Amino acid sequence: MRSFWRRGLLHTALLTLLTGTLVATPATAAEPAASDAGRWNGTGTERRSYTGTIDGAGYRVEVPQGWNGTLVLFSHGYYPPGWQPERIELANRPETEQWLLDHGYALAASSFTGTVGYAVEPALHDQIALLDWFDAHVGRPRQTVSTGQSLGAAVAVLLAERHPRRFAGVSTMCGEYDPLGTWNMALDLTFAIRTLLAPGEDIDLVRADDPTASAAALQQAVQRAVGTPQGQARIALAASFGNVPGWYSAHLPEPTDPTERILAQASWLEWAYSLGMGPTGRADLEARAGGNPSWNVGVDYTRQLARSAQHDQVRAAYRAAGLDLRADLDRLATAPRIAADPAAVGYLYRYGVPVGRTPVPVLSLHNIRDGGAVTDQERWYADQVRRNGDPGRLRQLYVNRGGHCAFSAAEEIVSLRSLLHRVDTGRWADLDPHRLNRTAGGYAEPYQFVLDLATFADRPMPPAFVRHTPPEFLRPSR
């Protein structure tokens, strides 16, 4: 989930380093006269900026000079409780935002009521309310594209599923399509950390009395474990239950040394799952859902390891450490399990889990070694589309890189333009990775920067589209 855990801090750094040129003016000072509202008519000679609130949710709208009639509605990712963004983002990267405006696209986004935490329920209301406001005060678009990153990708897909007449296409990045499955996966990881790396410690994984202390204890357990071969083997086992990759830095090559891969997995476990989707993140989720929506009752971790794409790595790590893998699996099997609150499970099905209907074309973009939103999510979503939608309306693109939502603006623009080609012509363009890389490589250097959450650095990198087959998602909601 981009913009969760440390990613929120990254956004602050990014906005400081790469300040956009857009300055929104108050909505009350920029609203057009009533005669300007209605269906878009192909006119418009002035740049218009709007900010304000609708039902308590902040919004930002940018309409370029010579608007082409297409509106791009952006849904942001998960912002951790306690962090507030400096302004409302209209795209994953500021260069993408500027390119779209320079090429005639109008942009809009809501901050969602409350902004932070698991804000899917308000997002589904607030984004439609913003579209209604846009129709009334700017003009009805010729077509609207729903975009989103991380948890916002699920929002973007759900908006199109529930309001198919409002959208012409969906473009997602680093999608967390099955939030209920993700929270269950996170429970598996923290359950393994507590059982194997912090035995006997008082750590609440759900319904925590002190979420901050429990999250810190999980982080400390991972930090201690990286110092020994035995701890590293157990980190590998915990990570395998979510196919968490061994590639953390977007700027470095994928590690080939087994120990380096496990250390990268430890970073994902420490920041994404002990903190972001650990006890502190769950406190907000449980408040919204009316209880705990996650469970591991009935989960066979021996079977989960056998199904994991990382089972060979785990067995090799245990052999190298001289540990008994069967003994640790038995410890997991006998540890007390956690049950979910049925009403909370129902809440996440209502506000977070797409069905897989594809009333409009959907194109996704994903790093192949994203540990914050594993590519298993793409496979799960494609399975839902095969069952309930039209597979011909779905295309999935991959970038050979670690990190969460670690894309250049060039890669994002090429992806979005591919969707728009499908929307405009009814046919998918050639999505061969070599062609996509040539196209993305034709953009100037400012469009080639990629943010690395491991270092907070932002630097140019070559386009890296690649073919990829995701592993099976081990804890799907459906």
**What pLDDT, in 10s, does the model give residues 38-76?**
455 555 568 899 999 999 999 999 999 999 999 999 999
The mean predicted confidence, pLDDT, of the chain is 91
Q: Letter for the amino acid at 356?
A: G
Pairing verdict, β 106-110 and 169-173: unpaired
**What pLDDT, in 10s, does the model give residues 338-371?**
999 999 999 999 999 999 999 999 999 999 999 9
Model confidence at 112, pLDDT cuts 50, 70, 90, reads: very high
| 3-state DSSP assignment of residue 159 | helix
80: closest CA among 154, 181, 157, 151?
151
Q: What is the dihedral of CA 334, 284, 478, 354, to 10 degrees?
A: -170
**What pLDDT, in 10s, does the model give residues 151-179?**
999 999 999 999 999 999 999 999 999 99
With a pLDDT cut of 70, the percent of the chain lying above it is 91
Global pTM value: 0.91
6: closest CA among 399, 444, 405, 294?
405
Q: Are 338 and 206 in contact (CB under 8 A)?
A: yes
Question: 322-339 b/e with 16+ CB inside 10 Å = b?
Answer: ebebeebbeebeebeebe
Q: Tell me what pLDDT residue 319 has.
A: 98
- Cα 272 vs. chain centroid, distance in angstroms? 12
Q: For residues 304 and 242, what is the distance between their CA atoms, to the nearest angstrom?
A: 9
Q: Are 267 and 248 in contact (CB under 8 A)?
A: yes
What value does the mean pLDDT take over residues 400-428?
Answer: 97
Q: Tell me what pLDDT residue 85 has.
A: 81
| 3-state DSSP assignment of residue 224 | helix
Residues contacting 361, CB < 8 A, separation 6+: 169, 170, 393, 394, 395, 419, 422, 423, 428
Q: Tell me what pLDDT residue 22 has.
A: 31
Task: Kindly report the CATH number that applies to the domain delimited by 7-177+353-466.
Answer: 3.40.50.1820
Model confidence at 456, pLDDT cuts 50, 70, 90, reads: confident
| 3-state DSSP assignment of residue 365 | strand
Rounded to the nearest 10 degrees, what angle do helices 325-334 and 229-240 cross at?
60
Is residue 45 left, alpha or beta, with left meaning phi > 0 and alpha meaning psi from -120 to 50? alpha
pLDDT value at 460 more than 60: yes
169: closest CA among 148, 193, 185?
148
Residues contacting 377, CB < 8 A, separation 6+: 175, 176, 177, 178, 181, 182, 366, 470, 473
Q: Tell me what pLDDT residue 44 has.
A: 58
Q: Where are the domains of the chain?
A: 7-177+353-466, 180-344
What value does the mean pLDDT take over residues 306-325?
Answer: 98
CA atoms within 13 A on the CB side of 229: 11
Q: Tell me what pLDDT residue 40 has.
A: 54
Q: Which H or E run includes 364?
A: strand 362-369
**What pLDDT, in 10s, does the model give residues 255-291?**
999 999 999 999 999 999 998 899 999 999 999 999 9
What value does the mean pLDDT take over residues 12-26?
Answer: 32
Place of tokens 């109008």: 106
pLDDT value at 9 more than 80: no
**What pLDDT, in 10s, does the model give residues 122-148?**
999 999 999 999 999 999 999 999 999
DSSP state of 275: I
pLDDT value at 4 more than 50: no
pLDDT value at 116 more than 80: yes
With a pLDDT cut of 90, the percent of the chain lying above it is 86
Model confidence at 80, pLDDT cuts 50, 70, 90, reads: confident
